[in-house]
Homo-oligomer: A and B are copies of this chain.
């Protein structure tokens, strides 16, 4: 027997429609690259996004078509976001820190028909424009004036695109909630990047679930600053949660240095901000040195990499700000666990609370989590038995875009590639990583790809990349090279060889030369390498 309640599909357009009607005049502030601030609100955003939808429809773009975005967190990105999703097109976010070849690979894999880019990246795209057969049009934001074609691809400024119209309006929604809404690629352990194809339903539910009082807990009275980029897993959900809650929204654009963020937080009365540890370290250093105020900032969400206990202390003891530690992944939309406050907290002392907040937290309903040992059984909740962290839930990936097989086991569990222990209260702590990748400043570096490139350099016989702890970036890649007999390419030669092949932030500061141990199956034995080499880099070397 089926219930007899209304059929009301959870499509994401409803979030902005709601915000425009319930909180139409709530402020959206955007920091421009020159530091000036422009103001908008949810009612205007809806108007702009609807105009964007109409313009897309005018270009024949609709349900299921991919629209690539190469933008910072700013109003044009929000406009393209809701404008595309509203008509069932799929927003494919691209990481502006990628090099042209990588961007081309991603655009081609996704089959983007239209790109919306920041004017600052026009030259990068020009390098590969003749290799983007699916792209029919490029919209250039933040450029001003009329836009010239990029290679042979027609282009228009965002203003002209919106002005050109198309059908006077394009209807929003009206499609199934399982319709794809977003596409975000992540660097896998092996092989090519993998795309996670979010649905309207999964993003909608992720917003409702991660904003529970045990989670982000954002209300209409908050002013939210998502520093975490929209190109990385939906800005952790903020582009949906802020309008859903009717919270004020502050978009930082590309300026993410400590001084700029402090000023933005103070001027805009930000109450809640979210970023990776590297960003917070910069901000804390700036505030510490300058004595500047963080205004009404009450809570910060730190995630994407582990939170050092000193960070919890610095925020709490010096600034009276609560740290929330979140664990998530692109494949989880992204939130998986959070260090929510527990009923027993009144019985803990300050250091016990710090210790708890330095853990990755408890899985947040309805995310199901389990930690599976080498024996295939659930690990005891003894905080001492490490195992593979696996998850299930309505906003967890089932299959990567274009893949022929599911990314989950037969019983539906997705293996995160993280190794964790869990305590008696259900708080997990990440202790290792099964996936062979490096996470630097919140972004992935593929060790495999870096190794493959390095092997192309004359004189390199074998190459291995491992992550080494780094005070500023969390982790940095260390490249270990075994040379061909009689050859000794310098580390400088290798680095120059790699430079055009990988994003700037992938370039290893440190390259060591050594014999590379192989395991029983002939694969590089990274466990041995980690034991030998995984020491933190000396601080002076740590500048990417």
Contact = CB atoms under 8 A, between A and B. Distances in A.
Contacts of A196: 4
Max count, chain B CB within 10 A of own CB: residue among A196, A197, A213, A362: A213
Given A1-B90, A178-B2, A365-B18, A343 B8 contact: no
Given A22-B362, A342-B220, A343-B248, A6 B408 contact: yes
Interface in A126-176: 176
Contacts of A350: none
Interface in A1-60: 1-8, 10, 14-15, 18, 21-22, 26
A217 interface: yes
Interface stretch (A75-83, A204-212, A443-451, A453-461): A204-212
Contacts of A363: 22
A356 interface: no
Given A208-B209, A214-B246, A396 B221 contact: no
A300 to B, nearest CB: 17
Given A18-B365, A217-B213, A219-B213, A3 B392 contact: no
A395 B5 contact: yes
A488 to B, nearest CB: 48
Interface stretch (A116-124, A249-257, A398-406, A473-481): A398-406
Contact of A396 (B6, B198, B394): B6
A412 interface: yes
Given A212-B211, A341-B219, A394-B10, A22 B426 contact: yes
Nearest to A179: B2
Interface in A362-383: 362-363, 365-366, 368
Contacts of A219: 212-214, 217, 340-341
Given A211-B213, A365-B22, A341 B3 contact: no
Given A2-B180, A365-B22, A341 B220 contact: yes
Contacts of A345: 221
Interface string A408-425: 100010100000000000
A200 B2 CA distance: 9
Contacts of A1: 63-64, 90, 179-180, 197
Contacts of A18: 365-366, 368
Contact of A394 (B6, B198, B401): B6
A401 B342 contact: no
A218 interface: yes
Nearest to A197: B4
Q: Count this chain's copies in the assembly.
A: 2
A245 interface: yes
Nearest to A341: B221
Nearest to A14: B366
A311 to B, nearest CB: 23
A448 to B, nearest CB: 23
A400 to B, nearest CB: 7
B4 A398 contact: yes
A437 B1 CA distance: 30
A111 B342 CA distance: 44
A354 B278 CA distance: 45
A89 to B, nearest CB: 9
A395 to B, nearest CB: 6
A129 to B, nearest CB: 26
Contacts of A342: 220-221
A531 to B, nearest CB: 36
Nearest to A218: B213
Contacts of A341: 219-221
Contacts of A14: 366
19 contacts: A1-B197, A2-B178, A2-B199, A3-B198, A4-B199, A5-B197, A5-B201, A5-B395, A5-B397, A6-B394, A6-B412, A8-B396, A18-B366, A18-B368, A26-B343, A219-B340, A219-B341, A221-B341, A221-B345
Interface of A: 1-8, 10, 14-15, 18, 21-22, 26, 63-64, 90, 176, 178-181, 196-202, 205, 208-209, 211-214, 217-221, 244-246, 248, 333, 340-343, 345, 362-363, 365-366, 368, 392-401, 408, 412, 414, 426
Closest 3 CB pairs of A and B: A3-B199, A1-B64, A213-B219
